């Protein structure tokens, strides 16, 4: 469906980024927004393809189907392939295939082959059946990256499953059911098995910094499980545990709602408000063109998603120099989260584009359902862009409905205009733009930035992804029961000579070990300690089949914390539920 009114030329006034800018001067300096979108779309598609092996112009020597995050090899080094970035990029390419660009099919087939290979590569997160699918990135030659990193990251398998499920459904509709069943489904099935097993365990968020429960991961997991069940049925395959887990994942997702916004990371003491563009990216990923404005699944037009959009956008209004003087209700540069210190914390192109994409997706949903409801939760969002609005339901065809759609469209275009203002003349999209002067920063030619431009402007034009059957899967259970725990009992033995008043603890990257926090480290017992055998021990219940890193710490009588020397220790828990294992260490 193409909403022709969405692609009218934007008035020159919409190109204003700051309230002191001159519409006439800005119009003279820059092309119209529609002209910019047309030109930048072509550049962005080429930018994506340039970073994909084997024939991408900036991916020389990279195997077929491997997506390089960025050609940048230093300051920062992004010459890796991230499971998350690749999946979101290929989701965008599959959507373009569905829209008619069949030249992309071979690229997508290459991606299927490459991901099937990577699923079998043992890595620091584990083996193919012991958590290895949660490894966030690999070397571009498809070997394991073994350096220190925030791992595991549990969003990658769910995102890859979604991208490939959309493709498999297209194959079924276009005479490729055999390929879908024999080639694509086995990759999807492994990812869904991972999601079923690990969705209720903590991991690192999409920014690779916080180890806890990430809203983005949970939202992506719910969608992947729902559409995975439907695809398995079409292909006559089994998706063991998927149908049972999906509603429980949705139930848990409700825990992130604070009453006015999504706290993007919970079950972690990160010192942040939780206002994070993670949540806006979640909303556009789980957007279903057939959905109503459902709060539970955080649909783009839902009251919760709109309130969250305002909360996240407002959190950046006063902290960036490029946003200075921009009035409430006008678009600003959007970063990851206000407390960000990476490269001193700046707006990101993909984050600013995500803010626009949510608004365009909401417009599509309102237009399809034929009404807009403003309630007490969403009222502050609407009043920013239409001060006279009040609580109520406004039907399509009414003047108020038209005013709301026009205001939201203007607001969405305003975010694109921010990106336009800080995009260099050659159209190259880096990762970030400087918070004070708007110059491109960090990784050049970021694949995800280009993909985000493609999806945002497609939503603006009314081009959407197929339904994932959200309308039949949007009611969470009244009570969350999680999934049956599959744990093992691991006994930690460490020989550590201590003096009176000193105690030994173990901590590590699992929640059960305190997520590396000395305050939450698990105490060991000295009940068997002797001068000849200075044994400290503890039996701790941990998730089965999980690779993790850990260390011992010593706490002195006055509260001083002493860590044992590097490197981190590593262990893989037993695979069977209810099994036992023992580690024997000596303090270093």
- Residues acting as catalytic residues: 205, 208
DSSP code per residue over 122-175: -BTTB-TTTTGGG--EEETTSPBP-S------THHHHHHHHHHHHHHHHHHHTT
Question: How many CA atoms lie less than 13 Å away from 104 in the CB half-sphere?
Answer: 22
Is 366 assigned to a binding site? no
What's the rounded Cα separation, in Å, for the pair 249 and 298?
A: 13
What's the rounded Cα separation, in Å, for the pair 490 and 542?
A: 7
Write out the two tokens for 139.
């070397």
Write out the two tokens for 310.
């305002």
What's the rounded Cα separation, in Å, for the pair 453 and 98?
A: 18
> Which residues, at least 6 apart from 21, have a Cβ–Cβ distance to it below 8 Å?
none
Region at 121 (left for phi over 0; alpha for psi -120 to 50; beta for the rest): beta
Q: In the beta sheet, which residues pair with residue 490? A: 540, 581
Query: Do 468 and 369 touch, CB atoms closer than 8 A?
Result: no
CB count within 10 Å of CB 558 equals: 6
DSSP code per residue over 226-268: HHHHHHHHHHT---TTHHHHHHHHHHHHGGGB-SSSB-SEESS
Query: Do 313 and 325 touch, CB atoms closer than 8 A?
Result: no
What's the rounded Cα separation, in Å, for the pair 135 and 60?
A: 24
Tell me the C-alpha to C-alpha distance, in Å, between residue 123 and each of 57, 142, 152, 548: 29, 11, 11, 12
Bind-site residues: 149
Annotated binding-site ranges for substrate: 149
């Amino acid at each position: 469906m193409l909403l022709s009114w969405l692609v009218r030329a934007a008035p020159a006034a919409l190109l204003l980024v700051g309230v002191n800018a001159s519409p006439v001067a800005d119009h003279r300096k820059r092309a119209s927004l529609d002209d910019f979108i047309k030109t930048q779309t072509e550049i962005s598609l080429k930018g994506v393809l340039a970073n994909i092996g084997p024939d991408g112009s900036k991916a020389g020597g990279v195997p077929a189907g491997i997506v390089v995050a960025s050609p940048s090899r230093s300051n920062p080094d992004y010459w890796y392939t991230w499971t998350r970035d690749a999946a979101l990029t290929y989701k965008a390419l599959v959507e373009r295939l569905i829209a008619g660009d069949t030249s992309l099919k071979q690229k997508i087939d290459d991606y299927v082959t490459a991901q099937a290979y990577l699923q079998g590569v043992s890595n620091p997160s584990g083996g193919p059946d012991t958590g290895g699918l949660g490894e966030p990135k690999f070397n571009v030659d498809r070997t394991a990256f073994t350096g220190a990193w925030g791992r595991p990251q549990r969003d990658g398998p769910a995102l890859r499953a979604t991208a490939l499920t959309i493709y498999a459904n297209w194959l079924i509709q276009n005479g490729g059911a055999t390929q879908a069943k024999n080639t694509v489904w086995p990759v999807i099935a492994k990812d869904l098995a991972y999601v079923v097993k690990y969705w209720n365990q903590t991991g690192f968020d999409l920014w690779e910094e916080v180890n806890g429960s990430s809203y983005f991961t949970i939202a992506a997991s719910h969608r992947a499980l729902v559409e995975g069940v439907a695809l398995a049925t079409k292909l006559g395959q089994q998706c063991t545990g998927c149908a049972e887990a999906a509603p429980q994942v949705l139930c848990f997702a409700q825990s992130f709602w604070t009453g006015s916004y999504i706290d993007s990371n919970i079950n972690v003491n990160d010192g942040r408000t939780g206002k994070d563009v993670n949540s806006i990216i979640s909303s556009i990923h789980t957007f279903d063109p057939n959905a109503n404005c459902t709060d539970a699944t955080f649909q783009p037009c839902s009251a919760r998603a709109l309130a969250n959009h305002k909360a996240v956008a407002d959190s950046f209004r006063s902290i960036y120099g490029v946003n200075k003087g921009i009035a409430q209700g006008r678009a600003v540069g959007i970063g990851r989260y206000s407390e960000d210190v990476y490269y001193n914390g700046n707006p990101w192109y993909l984050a600013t584009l995500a803010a626009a994409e949510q608004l365009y997706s909401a417009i599509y949903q309102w237009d399809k359902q034929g009404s807009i409801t403003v309630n007490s939760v969403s009222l502050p969002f609407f009043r920013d862009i239409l001060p006279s609005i009040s609580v109520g339901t406004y039907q399509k065809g009414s003047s108020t409905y038209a005013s709301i759609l026009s205001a939201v469209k203007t607001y969405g275009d305003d975010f694109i205009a921010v990106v336009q203002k800080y995009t260099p003349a050659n159209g190259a999209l880096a990762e970030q733009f400087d918070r004070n002067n708007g110059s491109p920063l960090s990784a050049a030619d970021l694949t995800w930035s280009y993909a985000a431009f493609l999806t945002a402007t497609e939503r603006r034009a009314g081009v959407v992804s197929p339904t994932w059957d959200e309308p039949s899967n949007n009611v969470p259970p009244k009570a969350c029961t999680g999934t049956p725990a599959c744990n093992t009992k691991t006994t930690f033995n460490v020989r550590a000579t201590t003096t009176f008043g000193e105690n030994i603890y173990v901590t590590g990257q699992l929640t059960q070990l305190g997520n590396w926090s000395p305050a939450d480290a698990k105490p060991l017992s000295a009940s068997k300690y002797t001068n000849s055998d200075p044994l400290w021990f503890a039996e701790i219940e941990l998730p089965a089949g999980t690779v993790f890193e850990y260390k011992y710490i010593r706490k002195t009588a006055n509260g001083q914390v002493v860590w044992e020397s590097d490197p981190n220790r590593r262990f893989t828990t037993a695979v069977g539920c209810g099994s036992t294992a023992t580690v024997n260490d000596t303090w270093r």
